[in-house]
Structure 1
Amino acid sequence: MPVSIPQVRAFVATVDAGSFTSAATALGVGQSAVSHAVAGFEREVGGPVVRRGGAAVPTALGERLLAHARQVLASVDGLEAVVRPATARGTVRLAAVPTVCQGLLPRLRELWSVTLPDVDVQVYEGDDDEMAEWLEGGTVDAAVLVDPTPVPEGGVVVARDEMAAVVRRDHPLADTAAMTLDDLHEDGLVAGGGGCEHQIERMHELAGQPFRWAHRVREMSTMFGMIQRGEGVSIVPSLGRVMLPEDLVMLPVAPRYERTLVLSGPSTRAWHPLAQALVDAV
């Protein structure tokens, strides 16, 4: 099947950008070039892969091909990086959870801007469960994994981050040295914000308590809003302190629990050389 790399790249760029125009800008080519490449790809695979007339979302066929297309491009990009000159240069895609994007990546990117000035680090934000999937599927080249077991070969620990309670500044226990899980459950635990539910569940397991919650949300902004309105309290990684509204405070939780953050490339395919460069620089 004579599918070409430019066709695959145009297909993935169109899906990621949401339109042919934005994909053309990202690829640095004209819109007609992207349209022709996607149309050629569709002829070769036997059907439409992108819906027209609105946002460029993948069709059912496109969904089946997308993961394979990403893996192809990840391998091609890795091959090209190997045969380029030794100087680290190009774009590397890095995934991380929200608290890492806010609390840790700014420092890492400052380091990389000095040690790898010709490398552009593109950040993809997602939940814990998405990190390994994106990494192994080729959506990203590297990721900051949370509590990976075992630590991937070649990965490096970049931080250990203590879990902390979040309450309103006027909470009766806001001045205590630490809060217990029982203290938190008295006000109603808001769980899940920022993708750290696994860590909260593990804390309950180690304390011999059932994992229970009053509310279960996805976004940290939703969780913080509920706490501000007095609808509950929560537990988040201490890296999330930079995201905290002024009327909320963080307190230690007893017993203590730390999560381990590991910068790594994929386990099931060869690493992109620039992913290795990020790890080596750290």
Structure 2
Amino acid sequence: MAPEVNLAQLRALVAVTDAGGFGSAAVELGVSQSAVSHAVAALERVLGAPVLHRGTPARPTPLGERILPHARTAVASATSVRAIADRHRGGLTGTVRLAAPTTVCQGLLPALLRDWRAEHPRLTVRVFEGEDDELAVWLEAGTVDAAVLVDADPAPPGAVPLGADSMHALLRRDHPLAGEATVDVADLEDDDFLLSEGGCERHIRDAYRRAGVRFAPRHRIRDLNTLIGMVHAGVGVSVMPALAQPMLPADCVLVPIRPAAHRRLTLTGPAGRPWSPAVTGLLAAVRNDRAPGATTH
């Protein structure tokens, strides 16, 4: 009989593709690098063709690209079988890869991770920080198992709303408007505006449009920490989500803007494939803890 493809070979292919190299994949899988190399080589012998380009980073060949979705499904299904058995015995185990935007990682996830650890001590949640527009792509590609999506429309069945994260003006504490209860975006025109090129730009533009104020950012900054540092240094002002509060130095403040603007946060598994029992369990824990209509800020 011809040799069969096995789960260890498919798991190695997925791990090397996602990690970008054999060494990182070995760490991810908790095995030696030679074991990963042998598994991929064995897969290639069974298939009769290479599945990976051995470069930096390692990447799938055309054949590898074609079989990768099936490999992900097989690995996910095997993980689900194990999770179902573990749950039957009284608890979730395994690993859930969770993607979220930077501000969510800073302001919302620490409490969720603490609660999950207390409720499911044998389950590991690994966090992947990304830009808003990357998260849905990672989720549907199988790079992660769950994600906190911004303004998901529509949200997959079973997704859990985490609330609304409002937009605030970021000011130095010595700024004339820093002590106000709210700040009209028109009052920010006297300062140079620093725009974060993340997913909040459309919310900021919409607030300016509704206020009838011209939106003319002086600087465009990709990294949120860089933007905060520049406001801290007195270069200008900005607008960002309230969840960024833990990232701020002591002499910077967030003040709600007028007209109000917010983004909706949703915790979900993928839309295009079944959720693992571990993901379903985590979302159920959040759903049970949150009252309907609760908001983040």
Same fold (TM over 0.5): yes
Match of 2:182 among 175, 178, 183: 178
1:156-171 residue pairs with structure 2 within 5 A? 156-171=160-175
Q: What do residues 141-195 of structure 1 show as CA deviations (whole Å, max 9, x unaligned)?
A: 1111112123321111123221111012222222222222222233132222554
Distance 2:144 2:104 in 1: 16
Distance 2:249 2:124 in 1: 31
Structure 2 letter corresponding to 1:7: Q
Aligned residues: 280
Distance 2:256 2:136 in 1: 29
Match of 2:280 among 265, 276, 282: 276
1:56-135 residue pairs with structure 2 within 5 A? 56-58=57-59, 61=62, 64=65, 68=69, 69-86=71-88, 87-135=91-139
Structure 1 range deviating more: 180-189 or 198-207: 198-207
Distance 1:259 1:58 in 2: 35
State the Cα RMSD in Å: 2.6
1:26-45 residue pairs with structure 2 within 5 A? 26-43=28-45, 44=47
Match of 2:252 among 248, 252, 256: 248
Distance 1:280 1:130 in 2: 25
Q: What do residues 116-153 of structure 1 show as CA deviations (whole Å, max 9, x unaligned)?
A: 12111111111111111111111111111112123321
Match of 1:51 among 49, 54, 67: 54
Task: Classify the secondary structure of the residue corresponding to 1:106.
Answer: helix
> Please, which runs of 5 or more residues in structure 2 have no aligned partner?
287-297
Structure 1 letter corresponding to 2:52: V
Task: Tell me if the contact between 1:195 and 1:218 (Cα under 8 Å) persists in the aligned partners.
Answer: no
Deviation at 1:238, TM superposition (A): 0.6
The residue that corresponds to 1:199 in the other structure is 203
Distance 2:215 2:257 in 1: 15
Q: What do residues 40-78 of structure 1 show as CA deviations (whole Å, max 9, x unaligned)?
A: 3445373362434xx443266488459624455334433
Task: Tell me if the contact between 2:165 and 2:262 (Cα under 8 Å) persists in the aligned partners.
Answer: yes
Match of 2:7 among 5, 8, 24: 5
Task: Classify the secondary structure of the residue corresponding to 1:256.
Answer: coil
Distance 1:210 1:75 in 2: 52
Task: Classify the secondary structure of the residue corresponding to 2:190.
Answer: helix
Structure 1 range deviating more: 41-50 or 270-279: 41-50
TM-score by length of 2: 0.83
Task: Tell me if the contact between 2:168 and 2:254 (Cα under 8 Å) persists in the aligned partners.
Answer: yes
Q: What do residues 195-241 of structure 1 show as CA deviations (whole Å, max 9, x unaligned)?
A: 42232233334445565422222211111122123322111111110
Cα 1:254/1:30, change in 2 over 3 Å: same
Distance 1:13 1:37 in 2: 11
Cα 1:195/1:11, change in 2 over 3 Å: same
Task: Tell me if the contact between 2:186 and 2:211 (Cα under 8 Å) persists in the aligned partners.
Answer: no
Distance 1:273 1:67 in 2: 22
Distance 1:83 1:23 in 2: 26
Q: What do residues 92-133 of structure 1 show as CA deviations (whole Å, max 9, x unaligned)?
A: 111110111110001111111121121111111111111111
Cα 1:239/1:21, change in 2 over 3 Å: same
Deviation at 1:276, TM superposition (A): 0.7
Task: Tell me if the contact between 2:12 and 2:40 (Cα under 8 Å) persists in the aligned partners.
Answer: yes
Task: Tell me if the contact between 1:73 and 1:138 (Cα under 8 Å) persists in the aligned partners.
Answer: no
TM-score by length of 1: 0.87
Distance 1:2 1:75 in 2: 18
1:134-149 residue pairs with structure 2 within 5 A? 134-149=138-153
